[in-house]
């Protein structure tokens, strides 16, 4: 005795009908058809945020008094020779714009001028370095 009555096949009436083909529209290529079912990246900004959070930055080093005295002396020498536009190398801290910390950058070039009002050292190649971010300053021959 069968407790479940047999159900008729639900698509029995259309199984034998041929697949319709449009006479107006050409068939879609397999690659275009596959693109319809490609995964959708709804969280693109999430991946950017994760990548940004994983990016490393350096902590700012606070120079001790001896280093500050040496930098002051080098700045005085630089001011005395500013009219000669000496070639210098500056190691300075560049703060990160998006997160805490930053990176240490080295710049080499000829001095254009020292702007004491804005506390910047300007090089001929238009690099500007804040004086308070300088860690090391050396003269090139």
Instruction: Give the integer Cα–Cα distance in Å for 101 and 59.
Output: 5
Query: Is residue 134 a contact partner of residue 78, using CB atoms and an 8 Å limit?
Result: no
What domains can be seen in the chain, in order of their start residue? 65-139 (2.30.30)
pLDDT 10s digits, 116-140: 999 999 999 999 999 999 999 999 8
In this prediction, residues 12-26 reach a mean pLDDT of 88
What confidence score (pLDDT) does residue 61 get? 86
What confidence score (pLDDT) does residue 132 get? 94
pLDDT 10s digits, 103-122: 999 999 999 999 999 999 99
Query: Is residue 141 a contact partner of residue 103, using CB atoms and an 8 Å limit?
Result: no
Q: What is the pTM of this model?
A: 0.63
* pLDDT(28) > 60: yes
pLDDT 10s digits, 39-77: 776 777 888 888 878 888 888 888 899 999 999 999 999
What confidence score (pLDDT) does residue 2 get? 54
């Amino acid at each position: 005795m069968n407790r479940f009555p047999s159900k008729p096949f639900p698509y029995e009436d259309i199984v034998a009908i041929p697949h319709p083909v449009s006479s107006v529209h050409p068939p879609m290529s397999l690659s275009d058809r596959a693109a319809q079912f490609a995964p959708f990246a709804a969280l693109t900004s999430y991946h950017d945020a994760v990548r940004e959070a994983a990016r490393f930055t350096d902590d700012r080093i606070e120079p001790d008094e001896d280093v500050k005295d040496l930098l002051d002396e080098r700045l005085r020498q630089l001011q005395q020779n500013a009219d000669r536009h000496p070639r210098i190398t500056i190691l300075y801290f560049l703060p990160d714009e998006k997160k805490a910390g930053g990176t240490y950058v080295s710049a080499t070039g000829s001095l254009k001028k020292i702007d004491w009002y804005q506390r910047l050292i300007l090089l001929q190649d238009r690099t500007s370095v804040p004086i308070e971010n300088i860690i090391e300053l050396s003269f090139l021959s």
